[in-house]
Amino acid sequence: MSNIKRYRKAPVVIEAIQLNWQNWNEVCDFISPKYFDKGVWLNDETFEELPDGQTSNTMGLRIKTLEGIHIAREGDFIIKGVNGEFYPCKPDIFAKTYIPCDIEEGNGIYITYRYNEKKGFTGLKITGHAGYNPGNDPVCAGVSALGYALMGTLANIHGLEYIKNEITTGSLEVRIVPVRDEGKKHAVNIVFETILIGLKQIALGYPNHVKVENVV
């Protein structure tokens, strides 16, 4: 039986900038000094690093990655990974692997939740409108349905300390009464986790319209 299994990348958010020689200083400032090495001259045909003292029309950027020194060339993306590491990525690979996740100013749903290991989940806030299809927006409808499901379920199993619901502005905020009973805390966490899975899946499918963050 084969041990080869299929995996899907987790929905993590990275920062990246595409290297061109007009934004050289910006790229250098973006890379942490721990990972930045130096700019180098490259062979115009093979793109191999030239010995010190030799110059050409092609430049590269030496980056200290977790796997050793890599050279980024014009057009490559410089990625800041989830652990703060930096590495270059070819533009065709980048295009197949990543999609933009920034929400335009004033257009999008921001979902923030509060969680820490000691208290568990304590609150959720949803603000804004997706702007995906105004007037008949399935993204807004999906997020709203999950938000109301969370609010109703928590009210039934434990109790809500604070509710703010403004339909016009698209705002829903829920905070629960502090949970001291471990059994109820477990139930509350399960409800939150279940709803969060749905919200994160919507954000994964519509990254330009929905963003989910833990604000604790």
Per-residue pLDDT at 114: 85
Q: Measure Cα distances from 168 to 6, 105, 174 in Å.
A: 44, 18, 17
What is the DSSP-derived secondary structure letter of residue 138?
A: H
Give the span between the Cα atoms of 82 and 67, in whole angstroms. 16
Q: Where are the domains of the chain?
A: 15-97, 109-214
- Residue recorded with tokens 């990655």: 65
Per-residue pLDDT at 93: 93
* Tens digits of pLDDT across the chain (216 residues): 678 888 777 666 788 999 987 888 898 888 888 888 877 776 667 777 777 877 767 788 889 998 888 988 889 999 998 788 999 999 999 988 887 765 554 568 888 888 877 778 888 888 888 777 767 788 888 998 998 888 888 888 877 666 776 655 667 888 877 777 888 888 888 988 999 999 999 988 888 888 888 875
Per-residue pLDDT at 101: 63
Position 187: which residue type? A
Arch. (CATH architecture) of 109-214: 2-Layer Sandwich (3.30)
Residue 211: closest CA among 122, 114, 143: 143
Whether 213 and 111 have beta carbons less than 8 Å apart is answered as yes
Positive or negative, the CA dihedral 181, 174, 105, 94 is: positive
**pTM higher than 0.95, yes or no?**
no
